[in-house]
Chain A
Amino acid sequence: NAGVTQTPKFQVLKTGQSMTLQCAQDMNHNSMYWYRQDPGMGLRLIYYSASEGTTDKGEVPNGYNVSRLNKREFSLRLESAAPSQTSVYFCAGGTPGNQPQHFGDGTRLSIL
């Protein structure tokens, strides 16, 4: 039982490159989330998926896209990376109003 698994753990990109961050959960959560956390800061919601087949913008969606591939998987894509997107990205699964979120270990992304 792995919980929430994120890949990759670390990545360095050049400005303008694209990449997809992968997230998979085996906890049967209906809802999944992507956050970014900048140094010394709190968690900011990028996008979330309330259930399979739906996605919604969070607090800071600009420059990102998401895909809820199935109940288990929720990916985050940077189409044209910018230095301002350097951050730690956390994926989480949860059942809002009833259970806590479970977070992955994070992806540390640096954009040069």
Chain B
Amino acid sequence: GENVEQHPSTLSVQEGDSAVIKCTYSDSASNYFPWYKQELGKRPQLIIDIRSNVGEKKDQRIAVTLNKTAKHFSLHITETQPEDSAVYFCAASGGTYKYIFGTGTRLKVLA
């Protein structure tokens, strides 16, 4: 069935360093890949997304890359700040009516 693997499950970085979270999807029909940030006690909120006809997208300190051949997509956060500390989820959509989520990455930015 459809599956999205996400790594790492936890990630600690020093403030100002970069963070990279990687996801792999199984359904080759997937064509839309959102990333969500969930702060403690809050709902997941979209931070960036990418469609299958684009290889890279950037929004200030956040970027996402997509390799359709390898079925990989990654989130890159540069110049990390303490407020970036949260759980990040990747997702894949398009093959079915469902959004298939990764298991999440807990990012800690150390001041």
Residues of A in contact with B (beta carbons under 8 Å apart): 31, 33, 41-43, 45, 48, 50, 56, 58, 90, 94, 96-106
Contacts and interface: CB of A to CB of B under 8 A. Distances in A.
Given A90-B43, A105-B43, A45 B98 contact: yes
A100 B46 contact: yes
A43 B45 CA distance: 13
Given A48-B98, A101-B34, A96 B93 contact: yes
Contacts of B94: 96-97
Given A45-B98, A58-B98, A97 B43 contact: no
A97 B32 contact: yes
A91 B36 CA distance: 15
Interface in B69-111: 89, 91, 93-99, 101-104
A100 B32 CA distance: 8
Contacts of A31: 97
A42 B4 CA distance: 12
B9 to A, nearest CB: 10
A96 B43 contact: no
B31 interface: yes
Contact of B49 (A41, A48, A100, A102): A100
Contacts of B104: 41-42
A42 B101 contact: yes
